[in-house]
A and B are shown apart, each in its own frame.
Chain A
């Protein structure tokens, strides 16, 4: 089945460690996104990538890094510089070639819970 797969579902990080969250999609979508969800704050955009080997910062990029070496993969690294990383992280993707028509539907993965211990 086509879709967006995030792993791991649950991750624990010790202070000072970097961790990487995986996001893979087999929808042949061009653009991919990472959002962070905190209680009562909705979702906020961390990074996004519209094409392979290119990505842009979102609203809360500090303490995070990404790469887009393959179209289907957009991993997110939470670095030790992120002071409050405990949150729910959601990956999303959308097809590029529908961009000038009636709007695009953004589809989300199942999310990853990151907890600092």
Chain B
């Protein structure tokens, strides 16, 4: 069965600190996709990144970086020099290869960045 675990329910940091959000997944598929979404207080889900299972290269986008390790089934997300605007709930999600594109979500991590 597919499952996504975000063990950190809430994280609080002070502005300019680095913070890593953990994501561990389970799947029997050999081809799958991993996602991170940001949900600010307004509620909409903002797409951040999609990673394919056959591409283990880490990715950096500005202050955001992602570390994908198939050996540990993890897809962690790091924010460098956090800012107050980063405060949100962050969701990790998994999608199997195939026609449905159904997303399996983790329970989310609430990140609070204090000024």
CB-based contact B102/A103 at 8 Å: no
**Residues of the A chain whose Cβ atoms lie less than 8 Å from the Cβ of B35:** 105-106
- Is B61 engaged at the interface, CB distance under 8 Å to the other chain? no
Closest Cβ of chain A to B53, distance in Å, is 9
B68-88: CB near A (< 8 Å → 1, else 0) gives 000000000000000000000
- Is A90 engaged at the interface, CB distance under 8 Å to the other chain? yes
A31-56: CB near B (< 8 Å → 1, else 0) gives 10101000011111100101000000
Residue of B43, B101, B106, B108 touching A106 (CB-CB under 8 A): B101
The number of A-B residue pairs with CB atoms under 8 Å apart is: 64
CB-based contact A43/B52 at 8 Å: no
Q: How long is the Cα–Cα vector from A106 to B100 in the complex, in angstroms?
A: 11
Q: How long is the Cα–Cα vector from A33 to B102 in the complex, in angstroms?
A: 8
**Chain B interface residue count, Cβ-Cβ cutoff 8 angstroms:** 24
Closest Cβ of chain B to A27, distance in Å, is 13
CB-based contact A108/B45 at 8 Å: yes
Q: Interface range on chain A: under 10, 10 to 19, 20 to 34, or 35 or more?
A: 20 to 34
Q: How long is the Cα–Cα vector from A104 to B42 in the complex, in angstroms?
A: 25
**Residues of the A chain whose Cβ atoms lie less than 8 Å from the Cβ of B91:** 42-43
Q: How long is the Cα–Cα vector from A4 to B108 in the complex, in angstroms?
A: 22
- Which of chain A's residues 88-109 have a Cβ closer than 8 Å to chain B? 88, 90, 92, 94, 99, 102-109
CB-based contact B47/A110 at 8 Å: no
- Is A85 engaged at the interface, CB distance under 8 Å to the other chain? no
Residue of A40, A48, A88, A109 touching B100 (CB-CB under 8 A): A48
Closest Cβ neighbor of A88 among chain B residues: B43
CB-based contact B45/A90 at 8 Å: yes
Residue of B42, B44, B99, B102 touching A99 (CB-CB under 8 A): B99
- Is A63 engaged at the interface, CB distance under 8 Å to the other chain? no
A42 and B106 contact, Cβ closer than 8 Å, known pairs A50-B100, A103-B95: yes
Q: Chain B interface (Cβ within 8 Å of chain A)? A: 4, 9, 33, 35, 37, 42-45, 47, 50, 52, 91, 95, 97, 99-103, 105-108
Q: List 11 A-B contacts (CB under 8 A).
A: A31-B101, A40-B9, A42-B106, A44-B105, A45-B103, A48-B100, A58-B102, A88-B43, A103-B50, A106-B95, A108-B44
